[in-house]
Amino acid sequence: MNATELKLFTGNSNLALAESIAKDLGTKLGECSVEKFSDGEVNLKINESIRGKDVFIIQSTSAPVNDNLMELLVFIDAVKRASPERITAVVPYYGYARQDRKLGARDPISAKLVADLLSVAGIQRMLSIDLHSGQIQGFFNVPVDNLTAAFALAEHCKEKKMKELVAVSPDVGGVRRARNFATYLDAELAIIDKQRPKQNVAEVMNVIGEVEGKNCVLVDDMIDTAGSICLAAEALKKKGAKSVYACASHGVLSGKAFEKIDSSAIEKVVVTDTIPITTKSKKIEVVSVAPLLSKAIQNIHEGKSVSELFKTEKDKGIVI
């Protein structure tokens, strides 16, 4: 066991999740103040000694993305200058992840840029949940633990005890994720074939698979404006689906997402608390990833394998 003391800190992006993680670990959040100067600059102070400590900083880079990202970078820099044993950034939701490759001339690769910023700031490890693409792990020169919320979401769906279930990928790129769900829940698999004419606009083209008379669960890593997921639900209903549910690791839910979901054919949307959900909706349910993150943090601190957490899930079909 690591003799170094574990210290847990958090920025302002998701205080409720950080408090839940601290409670699960049987510890308290570190003493600090994360405020702003009158011009908007981050004003951060760590109010206790962390010399030689194993420090974990919890901060999702969700909306306001730039503020939360800058807050995390300043936090890392402050910790680095206080001589800790190790700094681990716990980033439940990794912002700027969708720009992970060049799709056209002169496009940025912002997922790599953020990885560079975190590395230069001083992290020695990164812990996240369901990165938008696995290749983002390769953008870092430090160890990256990419956890999955698939098991927690699948368990939540399993509790509904729905029969004739079909796991549906809203696009071709998410087939592996949907197949994991289908395997775990002993369900069938379907795929939505779509074209995206421009950013945040999706056009559903076709449903691949048998969904008539079935209960469908759309499985994705994130729901942003909810346009894609709502169009996919509409396409499934047109193909005769009995009911449509949706689940995603990250509820970004920007723009008119709540209005779209409330007026859509989707009966329930299940997301995790990697991003705090502040707007109320009868259709949205939240599953906590605090137990998952607390176990991972404990294993990292004690020098144990993080992949051991997923042995049971792998046996049941959840592929990490």
Q: Which residues are marked as active site? A: 194
Question: CA-to-CA distance for 78 and 234, rounded, in angstroms?
Answer: 49
First to last CA, the chain: 25
Using alpha carbons only, give the angle 14, 15, 21 rounded to the nearest 5 degrees: 100
Q: Give the DSSP H/E element, type plus range, for residue 103.
A: none
Can you state the percent helix, strand and coil of the chain, rounding each to 5? Answer: 35, 25, 40
- Give the relative orientation of helices 175-184 and 150-159 as an angle to the nearest 10 degrees: 50
How far, in Å, are 11, 120, 179, 209, 267 from residue 261 at the CA level? 30, 40, 24, 24, 9
Question: CA-to-CA distance for 71 and 54, rounded, in angstroms?
Answer: 20
Structure-token pair, residue 294: 């607390």
- What letter does residue 30 receive in the DSSP assignment? P
Give Cα 258 distance to the centre of its chain: 19
Whose structure tokens read 């051991």?
A: 308
- On whether the CB atoms of residues 29 and 50 are closer than 8 A, the answer is no
How far, in Å, are 68, 93, 198, 255, 278 from residue 252 at the CA level? 14, 9, 19, 10, 11
- Give the relative orientation of helices 65-80 and 110-121 as an angle to the nearest 10 degrees: 30
